[in-house]
Structure 1
Amino acid sequence: MPEPRTADAGPPGAERPRLIVGISGASAPHLAVHLLEAVRRLGSVDTHLVISRAARRTLEIEAGRRARDVAALATEYHRSEDIAAGIASGSFRTMGMVVVPCSMKTLAGIAHGFSDNLLTRAADVCLKERRRLVLVTRETPLSLVHLRNMAAVTEAGATVLPPTPAFYHSPDTIDDLLDHWSGKVLDQFGIDHDLYRRWSGAPVRRDTAGGGQG
C-alpha cells in the first residue's frame, strides 16, 4: 500500500473541502470505486480514503482491483491501522464521511462506538462533531440486529443510504445505475454534479391535459 501523505491545507479558511471515504469489507466495492472516480473528475473536493483489511480482499475478488490502485484515486490515503491520522481527530476539518459499502460489522461498530480501527474512529468523530455521516449499508435480507443498529446510527445523526437502484431516469447500463447512486451520495454533502437526470415530474398525457371528466 502507498504511504499516507500529509495533507497541506494551507492558511486557515483556504483549504479545499475534504470528504472522508471509508471502504469496508461488504460486497459491492464497485460502489466506492465509482464514487471516487466521480469525485476525482469533478475536481472540487479532496478525498481522504480508508480501506479496511476485509475490503482489500473484496476489492480483489469482486472488482479485480488492487487496494493500492484504488488508493491512488483519492487525494489522501490513510492506513486503517493508523489511528494517529488527521481524520481521527475532530480538529481536522471535513465535510463529513461516507462508508461505502458499509458492512454489518462496521455498522455495528459505529452504532456502539467501538472504534477499533481508523475507519470506525473517523465515523465516530463525524457523529461527535455533528458532521454528515452517510452509511451505504450493503446486506439483504436484514435481521432485527441489523435494523436496530440502523435505527441507532440514525438516532445518533447518521444517514443510512442503501444502494437501491432507481429507474425513473431510464437507465440503460450498470454505469447509469452507478451514476445515479453516486449522485445520490454527493447530494447528501451538497456537492454539485451532473451524474444523472433529475426527476422533474411525470409527463402530462395529451388525453388528460385539458381536464375533462374523471
Structure 2
Amino acid sequence: MKIGLYFGTYNPIHVGHLIIANHMAEFADLDQVWMVVTPHNPLKKKATLLDDHQRLEMVFLATEDYPKIKPSDIEFKLPQPNYTVNTLVHLQEKYPNNEFSLIMGEDNLKTLHKWKNYEVILDHYEIYVYPRISEEPENIELKSHPKVHIIDAPVVEISSTFIRNNIKKGKNIQPLLPPKVWEYIDHNNFYKK
C-alpha cells in the first residue's frame, strides 16, 4: 500500500488540511493519507498548543468519514526531539509492506535542504508537494528532483493561528472547521483564553 504522510501540529485541524489530504488521497497515486500529529516538544514552551491527545482526537473526529485518511500518533512514541527521517525509518520497520512518502507544502520544499539527512529522504522516499501562495515566483531547486511530485491541488490559505486568534476574540470561525471539530473545541472551551 502506498501511504502519504502529512505531518502537522493540527492545532486545530481545519478544512484546509482536509481539502489537501483528500486531494492527495484522491488525485495523487496514493492509497491512503496518514495525518501524523506531531507531539509537543517538551523543550519548548507553547502555551497555545493543546495536549497531544486532544489534537489527535480532533484529527480522528475530522477524518472518521474519510476512509482513505487516517490519524496517526506514531511520533508520540518516538524520543523527542524527533526528526522526520527517524519517523520514516521507524514506519518502514513497523510496516515493511507499505511504501511511505511525504506530503508537504511548497514552503517546506524550499527549506528541505536544511532538514536532518534530507539527502536520505530524497534517495528513498517520494515527496508530494502542494502549492502555496507566495509573493514572488519561486525558483525552488528541488522542484525538478525525480522524487518530487508537484500536485495541482487547490491553494488553501487558512491557518490554525488565525483560527485560534479569532476564537479568542469571539469571532464565528465555524465554517473553517469540520463540524465535529468545531463542536469538540466549543464544548471544551479551547483557545478562548
Superposition TM-score, scaled by structure 1 size = 0.39
Larger Rg: 1
Q: Which of structures 1 and 2 has the larger relative contact order (alpha carbons within 8 angstroms, sep 6+)?
A: 2
Decide which structure has greater helix share.
2
Superposition TM-score, scaled by structure 2 size = 0.42
